[in-house]
């Protein structure tokens, strides 16, 4: 049946890049399990309105027990998870120097942006192994390879961790025809990014765009298109890679 009607679990699905990915994968014919801590029905409604299939699951991705219960509910209600997109994340907002970082903020960043990827992968891998097919896509960031303003060391650390997890999983899972890749966006126009703009004037987005080789604002659909391709059978032989979608900023 190809990828049609396979179940894709997308975290951080209520808004921003996650919502864009849900809408794109639904248009590709996948059934969407939209996971978020926020009880927003907009993502699911936009998919159902155009004839797609989706359901929302409320889950704090940083909590292993909630992740396990959510994956079990999805498998029971929609079917086994074939595609896992670990997109949920918090931004380094406000920027904080390491010397001023509390234990609580450090651990929150690690739990939401990195532990969550491990929890979901651990819960979903057995289903993918049973079918000898699967896709895992983890969200890193171009900041791991490029310039990051001071105050985001905790964020850089987890985004580097996402690359390590991706490479490790690709090594473990290739023999079961399960691929694992990372996406590293540059600066993308999302609600989370807007919250980092203290003036509300779009300065953060404008400054970031000016530093790119391609002088255009990156939108969630630009990221979703790459996820769609990685999920497709055309990308069967792509694994362990980090795909930068950043207007060339890591090339400068």
Ligand X SMILES: NC(=O)c1ccc[n+]([C@@H]2O[C@H](COP(=O)([O-])OP(=O)(O)OC[C@H]3O[C@@H](n4cnc5c(N)ncnc54)[C@H](O)[C@@H]3O)[C@@H](O)[C@H]2O)c1
3 contacts ligand X (rule: CB under 6 A):
no
79 contacts ligand X (rule: CB under 6 A):
no
| HSE of 88, CA atoms in CB hemisphere, 13 A | 31
Evaluate whether 74 touches 57 at the Cβ level (below 8 Å): yes
Q: Nearer Cβ to ligand X, position 62 or 250?
A: 62
12 contacts ligand X (rule: CB under 6 A):
yes
User: Is 155 annotated in the active site?
Assistant: yes
CB of 76 to ligand X, least distance (A): 20
Evaluate whether 119 touches 68 at the Cβ level (below 8 Å): yes
Q: Nearer Cβ to ligand X, position 95 or 192?
A: 192
197 contacts ligand X (rule: CB under 6 A):
no
Q: Nearer Cβ to ligand X, position 75 or 117?
A: 117
Evaluate whether 25 touches 8 at the Cβ level (below 8 Å): yes
14 contacts ligand X (rule: CB under 6 A):
yes
* Gap between the Cα atoms of 9 and 41, Å rounded: 16
Structure tokens at 133: 């097919």
Q: In the set 23, 25, 32, 36, which binds ligand X (CB under 6 A)?
A: 36
Maximal C-alpha separation, the chain: 54
37 contacts ligand X (rule: CB under 6 A):
yes
Q: In the set 31, 57, 67, 87, which binds ligand X (CB under 6 A)?
A: 87
Q: Nearer Cβ to ligand X, position 129 or 148?
A: 148
CB of 147 to ligand X, least distance (A): 13
Q: In the set 22, 82, 88, 109, which binds ligand X (CB under 6 A)?
A: 88
15 contacts ligand X (rule: CB under 6 A):
yes
SS3 of 69, please? helix
Sheet with 81-86: list strands edge to edge: 54-58, 31-36, 7-11, 81-86, 134-139, 178-185, 242-245
Which member of 57, 119, 144, 155 is catalytic? Answer: 155
CA angle 151, 154, 157 (to 5 degrees): 125
Catalytic residue numbers read: 155
């Amino acid at each position: 049946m190809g990828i049609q009607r396979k179940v894709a679990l997308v975290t951080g699905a209520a808004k921003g890049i996650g919502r864009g990915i849900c809408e794109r994968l639904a248009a590709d014919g996948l059934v969407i399990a939209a996971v978020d801590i926020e009880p927003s029905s907009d993502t699911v409604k936009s998919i159902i309105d155009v004839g797609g299939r989706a359901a929302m699951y409320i889950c704090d991705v940083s909590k292993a027990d909630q992740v396990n219960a959510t994956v079990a509910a999805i498998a029971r209600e929609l079917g086994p998870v074939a595609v896992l997109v670990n997109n949920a994340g918090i931004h380094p907002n406000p920027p904080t120097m390491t010397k001023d970082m509390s234990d609580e903020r450090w651990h929150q960043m690690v739990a939401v942006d990195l532990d969550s990827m491990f929890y979901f992968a651990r819960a979903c891998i057995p289903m993918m192994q049973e079918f000898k097919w699967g896709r895992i896509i983890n969200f890193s960031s171009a900041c791991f390879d490029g310039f990051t303003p001071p105050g985001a060391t905790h964020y850089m650390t987890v985004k580097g961790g996402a690359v390590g997890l991706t490479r490790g999983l690709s090594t473990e899972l290739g023999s079961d025809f399960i691929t694992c890749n990372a996406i590293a966006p540059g600066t993308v126009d999302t609600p989370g990014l807007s919250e980092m703009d203290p003036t509300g004037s779009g300065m953060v987005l404008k400054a970031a765009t000016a530093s790119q080789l391609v002088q255009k604002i990156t939108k969630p659909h630009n990221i979703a298109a790459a996820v769609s391709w990685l999920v497709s059978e055309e990308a069967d032989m792509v694994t362990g890679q980090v795909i930068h979608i950043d207007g060339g900023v890591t090339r400068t």
